[in-house]
Structure 1
Amino acid sequence: MITEGFWYTWVLIPALIFIARVADVSIGTIRIVFVSKGLKLLAPLLGFFEIFIWLLAMTKVFENLDNWLYFIAYSAGFAIGNYIGLLIEEKLALGYANLQIITQKSGIDLARKLSDEGFGVTWNDANGSRGEVTVIYCVIKRSNFKRVTEIIKKYNPRAFYTIEDIRFANQGVFPMRTIQRSVGYFPWRKGK
């Protein structure tokens, strides 16, 4: 017969250790992103909760060093926490990215379309290993990455592009938020 102590020792505590590790590692992943983005107030606050949760989990593991299931729960929570933390970071899409697009055919149409969509674009003609190319530079908000890649795939699907994170951008051209009105979406831009 399964006793109450069995459920506590072999089910409840390992589950709590697993959940605690998922939480503290996810928070730690987000904290590291906040540190890299220079968010000086949020990073220490997340660090407090990260370590507090970690201490709770570690206490239970150290109290029961002879229970191998606690080690499994701890390790599995760490692995899943990394994955969930990266998913959360991807959804937050904080900051800016530098997009460099290289096209073998003329990239002027692509550059103009990006510009028409409100993105700041700089381009120049260059020579690549396979001949003449157009190099397009575009600094975007990370939250706009999907929209920009859709434009690239539509106007020049064979374009080569790279993306790099940027910690700070100054004096750039970025699309303004749109607001919904009863007759549709209208760009809300200062000065228009």
Structure 2
Amino acid sequence: MDFLYEGFWFTWVFIPLLIFLARVSDVTIGTLRIVFVSKGFKILAPILGFFEVFIWLLAMSKIIQNLDYWMYYIAYSAGFAVGNYVGLIIEERLALGFVNLRIITHEQGDALIKRLANEGFGVTATDAMGTRSRVNIIYCVIKRSDYKLVANIIKEYNPRAFYTIEDIRFASQGVFPTRSIMRGYGSFPWRKGK
């Protein structure tokens, strides 16, 4: 009877938990690998790919060996869902690379431009014609890690400003605050530039 009880826990709890954790790990690694590929990390991405596939093979081999256990399918699927979430959270926290910030204001943006420049950000501004009136367009390439600071400055100086953010794969010769720790490009010794 003890053997049956131990077999139950092993089959219906322990193995599904291992499958779930393996799937969370491999999907998290896969999500980060895709981000690193898009950012140009040529050495780190293949290393992550190796571990991603290795862990996936371990999880799949358990499922293939035990096709009759429906709990394994649920653990595998739940691990995939949670792995995506965890990977995105980690990627967001890493805040690698640069973004292009385009700010469109209906009012004069001189105070906002001055504040961004005082904070050490490079700013380019131009006048343009919007649908209803003349506008100021302010361009600013920033490190993703500085986004919250810049968003708070925009809200402080022009809370009704419209702005968009676009990922940038590579930036060269920019003006960036010296107080920031260089994150993204250049912070990993194994990244090879173009």
Q: Could you say whether these structures have the same fold, taking a TM-score greater than 0.5 normalized by the shorter chain as the test? A: yes
Q: Which residue of 2 aligns with 1:16?
A: 18
Count the aligned residue pairs. Answer: 179
Q: For the residues of structure 2 that align with 1:104 and 1:31, how far apart are their CA atoms?
A: 41
Q: For the residues of structure 2 that align with 1:177 and 1:136, how far apart are their CA atoms?
A: 22
Q: Once superposed, which parts of structure 1, at least 4 consecutive aligned residues long, lie more than 2 Å away?
A: none
Q: Which residue of 2 aligns with 1:99?
A: 101
TM-superposed CA distance for 1:73, in Å, is 0.3
Q: For the residues of structure 2 that align with 1:83 and 1:107, how far apart are their CA atoms?
A: 38
Q: Secondary structure at the residue paired with 1:123?
A: strand
Q: Deviations over 1:123-163 (max 9, x none)?
A: 01111012011000000000000010010000100000000
TM-superposed CA distance for 1:3, in Å, is 0.5
**One-letter identity of the residue aligned with 1:87:** I
Q: For the residues of structure 1 that align with 2:81 and 2:126, how far apart are their CA atoms?
A: 44
Q: Which residue of 1 aligns with 2:166?
A: 164
Q: For the residues of structure 2 that align with 1:65 and 1:107, how far apart are their CA atoms?
A: 63
Q: Which residue of 2 aligns with 1:149?
A: 151
Alignment match of 1:122 (pick from 113, 124, 132): 124
Alignment match of 1:43 (pick from 36, 40, 45): 45
**One-letter identity of the residue aligned with 2:134:** E
Question: RMSD of the alignment, in Å?
Answer: 1.2
Q: For the residues of structure 2 that align with 1:39 and 1:46, how far apart are their CA atoms?
A: 11
Structure 2 unmatched runs, 5+: 182-194
**One-letter identity of the residue aligned with 1:100:** R
Q: For the residues of structure 2 that align with 1:115 and 1:91, how far apart are their CA atoms?
A: 25
TM-superposed CA distance for 1:177, in Å, is 2.5
**One-letter identity of the residue aligned with 1:106:** Q
Q: Secondary structure at the residue paired with 1:3?
A: helix
Among all aligned residue pairs of Structure 1 and Structure 2, give the percentage whose two residues are the same amino acid.
70
Structure 1 unmatched runs, 5+: 180-192
Is the alpha carbon distance of 1:4 and 1:84 closer, same or farther for their aligned partners in structure 2, counting shifts above 3 Å? same
Is the alpha carbon distance of 1:10 and 1:44 closer, same or farther for their aligned partners in structure 2, counting shifts above 3 Å? same
Q: Secondary structure at the residue paired with 1:170?
A: coil
Is the alpha carbon distance of 1:134 and 1:29 closer, same or farther for their aligned partners in structure 2, counting shifts above 3 Å? same
Is the alpha carbon distance of 1:30 and 1:155 closer, same or farther for their aligned partners in structure 2, counting shifts above 3 Å? same
Q: For the residues of structure 2 that align with 1:131 and 1:100, how far apart are their CA atoms?
A: 18
TM-superposed CA distance for 1:112, in Å, is 1.1
Q: Secondary structure at the residue paired with 2:171?
A: coil
Instruction: Give the structure with the larger strand fraction.
Output: 1
1:88 aligns with 2:90: yes
Alignment match of 1:131 (pick from 126, 130, 133): 133
TM-score with structure 2 setting the length? 0.90
Is the alpha carbon distance of 1:143 and 1:178 closer, same or farther for their aligned partners in structure 2, counting shifts above 3 Å? closer
Residue pairs, 1:21-40, within 5 angstroms: 21-40=23-42
